[in-house]
Amino acid sequence: MKSKTETRRRDLLLAMAGLLPLGCATREGARGVSEARSDPSQARVRPAASGQRWTYRVTNLYNGETVDEFAESVLVVGTQFHVRRDAPGDLPHPDEVHEPWGMLRSDPHWSPPIAFAQPLPAWPPQLAAGRVEQYGTYYHTLASPDFPLWWSQQMRSVGWEEMTVPAGTFIVLRFDNQISFESSEFWRNDSTREESVWLCPQIGRWVQRRSHGRYFLPGPSGGEMFEDYRQEQLLAWQ
């Protein structure tokens, strides 16, 4: 008799060959991916289209508390693709802007929101495990568009995984970003940020994203300081 582990492994292999669905809805508007490829590296990120939508829960990983829930939708504006957040009760949130899709012109994920002099990849251009890419450009905060600051980013594709989140079970490519940058707050030294992203090509977005940062303050009362450690998990998509 096969163990549950062996049965699960068999189901995963069949799912990656496109023979079995990986998950089912646990709430309205949520579903798992029912198609997967035997070679995930041949996957392509779903093209953007108006009306695509994703809903996320945000957790503070320092204490495990849920701090937010928001939905994002795609709007096509000329040659740009805007991902607009519509979290109830929040102040207006800047759009995430792609030009073209998959290349970030502005990124409101960080605080403060930023825009890049040259668009940077939102995910690995080639969806293959083990690849490492290095990018460098200037950015500015949306509040100070005439004040460029440097930004250096290494993007490393870790590998393909099966991941279960509230929206279902998905085949995802995990990639890690290591970022060094010049902070707009000039009292911050040696600013760095790290994030891990679990991208599902078939939904055109990540199912989970974790990010945090650190910097140093000068002087006898300074030292190492930490930014928020946040996790976004997918609740539903369409």
More confident residue, 28 or 109: 109
pLDDT at 27 over 90: no
pTM higher than 0.75, yes or no? yes
Q: How far is CA 107 from CA 13, 99, 119, in A?
A: 36, 12, 10
Distances in Å between the Cα of 26 and the Cα atoms of 34, 146, 226 are 14, 47, 35
Domain ranges of the chain: 4-45+57-66+112-228
Lowest mean pLDDT among 5-14, 83-92, 125-134: 5-14
Average pLDDT across the chain, whole number: 86
pLDDT at 196 over 50: yes
pLDDT band at 86 (very low <50, low <70, confident <90, very high): confident
Mean pLDDT to the nearest integer, 217-230: 94
Residue 80 in this model has a pLDDT that exceeds 60: yes
